Amino acid sequence: MSGKVGMDWFPLLPGHEVVCAVVQVPEEAALWGFKVGDLTKAKGVHIAGFFSEYTTLDAASTVLISRNFGVNTPLKGLDKPLCPIFCAGITIWDGLEQTKLGVSESVGVVGAGDLGQLATAFLTILGHKVVVMDVQEKQLVACKEEYPGVETINSDNCSDLATKLREVNDGNLLNVAFVTSGVKAAYDSTLPLLEPYGKLIVIGHPPKPLEISAYMMSDKRLR
């Protein structure tokens, strides 16, 4: 209702990412090859109407999931694993594209909430060793249970994060850190954990501006 996501007119049906079956393909959308009965996905954090029974999609930004799904076929829970990919999933994947991680590079995830666990999933599936840090032990336990190969650090009860990181990471700091937490302290504690020429991937958005040491950025050639 604040209008922060671009929707400040009323009345409206709000929207976010959508998974839906195609029921009609107008002539101007036929060029994209969609057919009635296709199961599709579209991003829509700024798009009104995606929480309604029927909606209109932009063919140019719609993704085909499968053919011949059927117009009246129930999703049967398919929306739950698929919808987050167009929001959180793309956010994390964009970060991965930015890093251009080498197989031997050390990577950390700061924040083990939903975004952090998704980052951990992508990174471990791609074969990277991951160190996950958070102040909530239960979230670290969840990461460890789901991805047994990861190392975890509870930063709430660790007085020297750099030393602890070296202990669990073969004596190394991080080449890349994904900060998925929206807390300023997460950024403050992460910068000193980066190796020279390290990369910090900004994913979590703190409500207040960050204070970043220009000296540290310059001295360690951080990016």
**3-class SS at 194?**
strand
Radius of gyration of the chain (CA): 21
- pLDDT tens sequence across 75-84: 777 777 777 7
Q: Do residues 53 and 101 share a domain?
A: no
Single pTM value for the model = 0.78
Question: What are the two backbone dihedrals, phi and then psi, of residue 169, each rounded to the nearest 5 degrees?
Answer: -125, 40
Q: Do residues 138 and 165 share a domain?
A: yes
Residue 46 has what pLDDT? 67
CATH number of residue 95's parent domain: 3.40.50.720
Tell me which of 68, 83, 98 is where a domain ends: 83
Q: Do residues 68 and 173 share a domain?
A: no
Pick from 98, 7, 100, 15: which is nearest to 54 by CA?
15
In a domain, 1, yes or no: no
Residue 220 has what pLDDT? 83
pLDDT beneath 50: ranges in the chain: none
- 55-75 as b/e: b if 16+ CB within 10 A: bebebeebeeeeeebeeeeee
Q: Do residues 141 and 58 share a domain?
A: no
Residue 162 has what pLDDT? 94
Q: Do residues 153 and 78 share a domain?
A: no
Strands (E), the chain: 18-21, 39-42, 62-66, 107-110, 130-134, 151-154, 174-179, 194-202
Residue 88 has what pLDDT? 82
**Residue 23, domain extent:** 18-83
In a domain, 13, yes or no: no
In a domain, 4, yes or no: no
Question: What are the two backbone dihedrals, phi and then psi, of residue 177, each rounded to the nearest 5 degrees?
Answer: -130, 125
Residue 22 has what pLDDT? 92
Residue 9 has what pLDDT? 64
196 CB-near residues (< 8 Å, 6+ apart):
220, 221
Tell me which of 83, 104, 125 is where a domain ends: 83
Q: Do residues 44 and 93 share a domain?
A: no
Q: Do residues 122 and 68 share a domain?
A: no
Instruction: Give the separation between CA 69 and CA 29, rounded to whole angstroms.
Output: 19
Tell me which of 39, 56, 83 is where a domain ends: 83
Instruction: Give the separation between CA 221 and CA 99, rounded to whole angstroms.
Output: 15
In a domain, 8, yes or no: no
Q: Do residues 36 and 97 share a domain?
A: no
In a domain, 202, yes or no: yes
Q: Do residues 58 and 125 share a domain?
A: no
Number of structural domains (the chain) is 2
- pLDDT tens sequence across 136-169: 999 999 999 998 889 999 999 988 999 999 999 9
- Dihedral angle at the C-alpha atoms of 87, 117, 99, 94, nearest 10 degrees? -10
Q: Do residues 79 and 98 share a domain?
A: no
Q: Do residues 194 and 117 share a domain?
A: yes
Q: Do residues 146 and 198 share a domain?
A: yes
In a domain, 10, yes or no: no
